């Protein structure tokens, strides 16, 4: 199976369109989304509908739940909170329903997907250091767990002795006896100083994972954010990927 793995779209339709086109070109068999479909950008309904139609499975992110009243907006900084309240007002009922009913964890025979951490998925902890990754490794039932949330692509690898190392290499060959937590980066709001949209390919026959980056129409996405009356910073940050 060739999986297309995406996360953190954040209502950026231009980035999502570009990534879905790239996944078609990559001939992926199945697409899975790691959450935060909405929040920040100007096209929440379009991104919800498109993701629902193209992703076979999805998990919920903190912005998704906050935008439908299932996670407290007080947990967010003022700019993120503004965008959450704006999104709440414009989300149509069908999109609200689909966000409300999305699970926190997805598992199949090949992979696990959670937005933040397996330890307390409802709290949306950030996996930044090896100590954070430890708790998730302890709960994994598959060799690979995909995450989003930080918007910074990279992976933790645990060898057979339990030692954990972190890498930002864009490609990874899975080794027997090792386990991996892979952050696939963000489709719609990258924060690793690279403004290109991020997505991931997981090829289970080759046991290879790669993070891809592609151009999209950043200027159009930024224009829509400003026109919608969302905080201008949310448009400006797309230019630099921070
Ligand atoms: Zn996010």
38-90 pLDDT, tens digit each: 999 999 999 999 999 999 999 999 999 999 999 999 999 999 999 999 999 99
Q: How remote is the CA of residue 148 from the centroid of ligand 1, in Å?
A: 7
pLDDT at residue 95, as a whole number: 98
Q: How remote is the CA of residue 178 from the centroid of ligand 1, in Å?
A: 27
Q: How remote is the CA of residue 165 from the centroid of ligand 1, in Å?
A: 24
Q: What are phi and psi of 99, to 5 degrees?
A: -70, -35
Q: How remote is the CA of residue 176 from the centroid of ligand 1, in Å?
A: 31
Strand partners, 58: 33
Q: Which residue has the tokens 């993070």?
A: 211
Report whether 147 contacts 182 (CB < 8 A).
Answer: yes
Q: How remote is the CA of residue 174 from the centroid of ligand 1, in Å?
A: 26
pLDDT at residue 26, as a whole number: 95
Q: How remote is the CA of residue 61 from the centroid of ligand 1, in Å?
A: 7
Which of 97, 73, 71 has its CA nearest to residue 84? 73
Q: How remote is the CA of residue 161 from the centroid of ligand 1, in Å?
A: 32
Q: Which residues in the chain land under pLDDT 50? A: none
Q: What is the pTM of this model?
A: 0.97
Q: How remote is the CA of residue 99 from the centroid of ligand 1, in Å?
A: 14
The answer for residues whose C-beta is within 8 angstroms of residue 114's C-beta and 6 or more apart is 34, 59, 104, 105, 106, 121, 136, 145, 146, 147
SS3 22: helix
The pairing of beta strand 197-203 with beta strand 2-6:
antiparallel
Q: How remote is the CA of residue 44 from the centroid of ligand 1, in Å?
A: 13
pLDDT at residue 50, as a whole number: 98
Handedness of CA 36, 39, 45, 50 (dihedral sign): negative
Q: How remote is the CA of residue 41 from the centroid of ligand 1, in Å?
A: 11
The answer for residues whose C-beta is within 8 angstroms of residue 201's C-beta and 6 or more apart is 2, 3, 4, 5, 26, 28, 208, 209, 210, 212
**What are the CA-CA distances from residue 226 to residues 91, 187, 194 (Å)?**
18, 19, 21
pLDDT at residue 233, as a whole number: 98
Kindly state the DSSP code that residue 152 receives in the 8-state scheme.
-
Q: How remote is the CA of residue 162 from the centroid of ligand 1, in Å?
A: 29
pLDDT at residue 172, as a whole number: 98
Q: How remote is the CA of residue 63 from the centroid of ligand 1, in Å?
A: 7
């Amino acid at each position: 199976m060739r999986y297309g793995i995406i996360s953190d779209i954040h209502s950026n339709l231009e980035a999502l369109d570009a990534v879905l086109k790239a996944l078609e070109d990559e001939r992926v068999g199945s697409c899975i989304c790691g959450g935060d479909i909405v929040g920040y950008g100007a096209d929440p309904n379009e991104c919800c509908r498109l993701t629902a139609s193209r992703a076979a499975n999805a998990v919920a992110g903190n912005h998704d739940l906050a935008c439908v009243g299932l996670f407290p907006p007080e947990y967010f900084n003022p700019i993120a909170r503004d965008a959450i309240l704006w999104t709440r007002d414009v989300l149509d009922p069908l999109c609200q329903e689909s966000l409300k009913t999305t699970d926190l964890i997805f598992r199949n025979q090949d992979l696990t997907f959670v937005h933040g951490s397996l330890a307390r998925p409802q709290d949306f902890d950030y996996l930044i250091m090896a100590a954070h990754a430890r708790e998730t490794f302890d709960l994994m039932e598959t060799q690979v767990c995909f995450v989003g949330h930080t918007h910074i692509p990279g992976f933790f690898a645990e060898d057979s002795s339990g030692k954990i190392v972190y890498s930002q290499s864009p490609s990874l060959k899975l080794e027997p006896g090792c386990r991996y937590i892979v952050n696939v980066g963000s489709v719609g709001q990258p924060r690793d100083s690279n403004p290109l949209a991020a997505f991931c390919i997981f090829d289970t026959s080759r046991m290879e994972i790669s993070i891809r980056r592609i151009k999209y129409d950043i200027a159009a996405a930024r224009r829509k954010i400003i026109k919608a009356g969302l905080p201008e910073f949310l448009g400006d940050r797309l230019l630099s990927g921070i």
